[in-house]
Amino acid sequence: MDRVSRVDSGVPHPARVYDAWLGGTDNFEADRVAAEAGLRAFPATVKSVRANRAFLARAVEYLVAEAGIQQFLDVGTGLPSANNTHEVAQAIVPESRVAYVDNDPIVLAHAEDLLRGTDSGLTGYIDADLREPGKILEAAARTLDFRRPVAVMLIGVLHFIGDEAEPYRVVERLMGAVPLGSYLVISHTAKDIFPEEMAAFARAMNENSAAKVTLRERAQVSGFFGGLELVEPGVVQVSRWRPRSEVEASAPAVLWGGVGRKA
Ligand SMILES: C[S@@+](CC[C@H](N)C(=O)[O-])C[C@H]1O[C@@H](n2cnc3c(N)ncnc32)[C@H](O)[C@@H]1O
């Protein structure tokens, strides 16, 4: 199916609902209705989403500036926003490479914006589903050198992978393909932060959405880092992961986040 006929404007899609919360314009009425329903269930949703974006930027900054990482496999890219992975990485090391992956045709339609990297850096886009790690790895090899460390970024996407699709095996497969010294970065919507509001939030999101949300507890999110060395401060609310200010630290984020190293 071509990308235009894959776009269903009548059903909320995660990338477009997220875009609506971030104040973007790439969303339809159905997405805005879903975004509003999410806000009714958890009124601090926009602050939480912004805290997630800030976590993404801090994690990439840490990886490039402190850990020496120059390659990123960013699955669940989302629509272009401020501080996309390649912008943060290439601002520090212009040669940084990013392979973006998303399964949403609207994100694909915006891929050209994302692919405008620096002259020396390289960005690629892969139209694929996280449930197909083999396809992702094969296509990513066109942008990334898998003999050198890679940061696998799963920011705000694993909660769209239900238990039946074996998300732990998917993560293991991706991390099995990258060399020692590589990293895994995850943020995941929480079941055990504001639990009542979040149960209502998940119900609202799952009502008609194209992709169902599975909330997970901190221990379950920590489980994705099995076999990796967690970078300090471990798996925490995303706003508490190396915040740059008290304001960042105190954001009401409803996602667990962490960074692990394959050692
Ligand atoms: C909540 S947005 C997160 C965007 C960005 N990573 C961030 O944190 O700001 C989730 C993104 O994951 C994508 N997504 C959801 N399920 C996916 C799947 N099974 N495979 C690939 N991408 C998926 C959606 O299309 C959307 O763009």
Q: What is the pLDDT of residues 20-63, one digit of tens each?
A: 999 999 999 999 999 999 999 999 999 999 999 999 999 999 99
Indicate the helix (H) or strand (E) that contains 151.
strand 151-155
Q: Is 188 in the pocket of ligand 1 (CB under 6 A)?
A: no
**pLDDT tier for residue 119 given thresholds of 50, 70 and 90:** low
| Residue nearest to ligand 1 atom 12, measured at CA | 76
Q: Is residue 14 domain-resident? A: no
Q: Is residue 225 domain-resident? A: yes
Beta partners for residue 237, in sequence order: 256
**pLDDT tier for residue 112 given thresholds of 50, 70 and 90:** confident
Q: Which of 26, 160, 164, 187 should be mutated for ligand 1, with most atoms under 8 A from CB?
A: 160
Q: Is residue 10 domain-resident? A: no
Compute the chain's Rg from CA coordinates.
17
| DSSP three-state, residue 85 | helix
The CATH code of the domain that includes 167 is: 3.40.50.150
pLDDT digit string (tens) for 230-260?
999 999 999 999 999 999 999 999 999 999 9
Q: Is residue 1 domain-resident? A: no
15, 205, 251 from 212: Cα distances, Å: 13, 7, 25
Q: Is residue 21 domain-resident? A: no
Q: Which of 102, 166, 187 should be mutated for ligand 1, with most atoms under 8 A from CB?
A: 102
**pLDDT tier for residue 117 given thresholds of 50, 70 and 90:** low
214, 226, 241, 258 from 230: Cα distances, Å: 23, 9, 12, 7
79, 107, 241 from 75: Cα distances, Å: 12, 12, 20
Count of CB atoms situated within 10 Å of the CB of 206: 13
Q: Is residue 18 domain-resident? A: no
pLDDT at 89 over 80: yes
Q: Which domain holds residue 61?
A: 46-193+213-261
- Note whether 130 and 136 are within 8 A (CB): yes
**63 CA to centre of ligand 1 in angstroms:** 21
Beta strand 229-230 with 71-75 is: unpaired
56, 63, 80, 137, 239 from 259: Cα distances, Å: 11, 9, 23, 20, 13
Q: Across residues 79-100, what is the average pLDDT?
A: 94
- What is the DSSP annotation of 87-110? HHHHHH-TT-EEEEEE--HHHHHT
Mean pLDDT of the chain: 94
* CA–CA distance, 144 with 13 (Å, rounded to integer): 29
pLDDT digit string (tens) for 150-170?
999 999 999 999 999 999 999
Name the nearest CA neighbour of 239 among 255, 259, 217.
255
pTM of the model: 0.96
Q: Is residue 170 domain-resident? A: yes
The type of residue at 51 is A
Q: Is residue 19 domain-resident? A: no
Q: Which of 21, 55, 74, 103 should be mutated for ligand 1, with most atoms under 8 A from CB?
A: 103
Q: Is 153 in the pocket of ligand 1 (CB under 6 A)?
A: no
pLDDT at 121 over 90: no
**pLDDT tier for residue 118 given thresholds of 50, 70 and 90:** low
Looking at the structure of the chain, the number of domains it has is 1
**pLDDT tier for residue 16 given thresholds of 50, 70 and 90:** very high
pLDDT digit string (tens) for 192-208?
999 999 999 999 999 87
For the four alpha carbons of 146, 165, 204 and 8, in that order, the dihedral sign comes to positive
Q: What pLDDT does 152 receive?
A: 99
The set of residues, in sequence order, having a beta carbon less than 8 Å from that of 239 and lying 6+ positions away, is: 51, 54, 55, 248, 249, 250, 251, 252, 253
Q: Is 26 in the pocket of ligand 1 (CB under 6 A)?
A: no
